[in-house]
Every structure is written in structure tokens, then in C-alpha cells.
Amino acid sequence: MDYRMPLYIQLQDIILKKIDIDYQNEVGNSGISAIFREKGIQISNRVLGMGDITGSKYINYKLRQKEAEAIWGLHRVHFGDGRPFAIEYTYVPKKYFNDIESFDFSKVSLYDYMEANNHLPVHFIQNLIICSANEKIADLLNVKKGSAVFKIEYQASDKDYNLVEYTKSYLNPEFAEFRFIAEAE
């Protein structure tokens, strides 16, 4: 396979650490922290940066917000049992989360916070892309520069279909494999 060509496919489910996990848990919080807690995996996070984002036509477009509306960004690395497995660049409309900057997301789950504010993501549009790790991604995931990593881009809406999240996530393929189910209609 030529890894220079992105592969676009609809995400069906994820197997992390060879544990079968239904990524879209329809009965509640489907964030990675909640999934790991449920499976007994110790999760920790390192925040790379967070704060208000202004003037980004692209991010505002992805969240269906007017250009002047405030967006809040959170960049972090997720660790499972002490090993880096994902980097997430997450953006949310600040109008739904007025006090978001007062939380320490190295210790607090973003989805737990969103659920407490009645805007838990429950509807997802996801795309999986296989791409080469640039120097920054390789360093953070502890992989070789240029090696293939999984990039998942998704938009998520709450129960009322308010678009509440846009995330780009990079996963180390050592810790995740994807399974796709094709069915004839």
C-alpha cells in the first residue's frame, strides 16, 4: 500500500490494545477516557495547549459557527498505562462551555465536562485517514518519523444535534486496529 495516498473510510469500530471496544457507546459517554476506565486501563493526559481560537475560518466552518464566534481549543496527548497512544486537537464552540478554561483537562475528561454541561457528543461523523507521521507527531507518539499512523477527523453533535466538537486525532497503530464491516443492501 502506498501510504502517501490518504485512505478515506467511514469508521465502524476500534480495537484498542486488542480489546474489542464499541467506539460509539449509545448509552452514554463515548470519550476515550470513559472507554478506558470501563476496560480497566489506566489513562492519563498531557495538555499541550488550550485556549481561545479566533480568526480561524476553517475551524469555525467545521463547527458551523460564524467567523466572529468564539472557539475554544484543547491539544493533548493521551497515555494508556503510561504509553502515548493518541494526540488530539479538539475544538468546541465556546458559547456552550462558558467556564471551560477553568478546568484542568490533564485530570478531567473533556466528555465528562461536556456531559455535565448537557452537550455530550452522541452523533458522530468520522473519517479515518492513514498518513505519515511528521516530526512532531512522531515525537509525541514515540514512533519513527514517516511511519504510518491513523488520523481520525470527526465532528460530533449533542442529543439536540448542536455541533459541539471538531477533533483531529492521531493514533499509534501499535495500539489500535480497525475493523470494517461491509454489508450488501
Q: What is the pLDDT of residues 8-18, one digit of tens each?
A: 343 444 433 33
In a domain, 181, yes or no: no
Bigger pLDDT: 14 vs 75:
75
* Per-residue pLDDT, 2: 41
What is the pTM (predicted TM-score) of this model? 0.79
What is the grid cell recorded at 108?
478531567
* Per-residue pLDDT, 117: 96
Q: What is the pLDDT of residues 19-70, one digit of tens each?
A: 333 444 444 545 666 666 677 878 889 999 999 998 899 999 999 999 899 9
In a domain, 3, yes or no: no
* Per-residue pLDDT, 141: 96
Q: What is the pLDDT of residues 117-156, one digit of tens each?
A: 999 999 999 888 999 999 999 999 999 999 999 999 999 9
Give how many domains the chain has, as a whole number: 1
Q: How far apart are CA 78 and CA 83, in angstroms?
A: 8
In a domain, 31, yes or no: yes
pLDDT of 76 higher than 80: yes
Query: How many CB atoms sit inside 10 A of residue 38's CB?
Result: 13
Q: How far apart are CA 13 and CA 35, in angstroms?
A: 12
In a domain, 49, yes or no: yes
Q: How far apart are CA 152 and CA 24, in angstroms?
A: 14
The one-letter amino acid at 143: V
In a domain, 182, yes or no: no
In a domain, 185, yes or no: no
Its domain, for residue 91, covers 9-176
CATH number (domain holding residue 138) = 3.40.1410.10
103 burial level (CB within 10 Å; 0-12, 13-18, 19+): middle
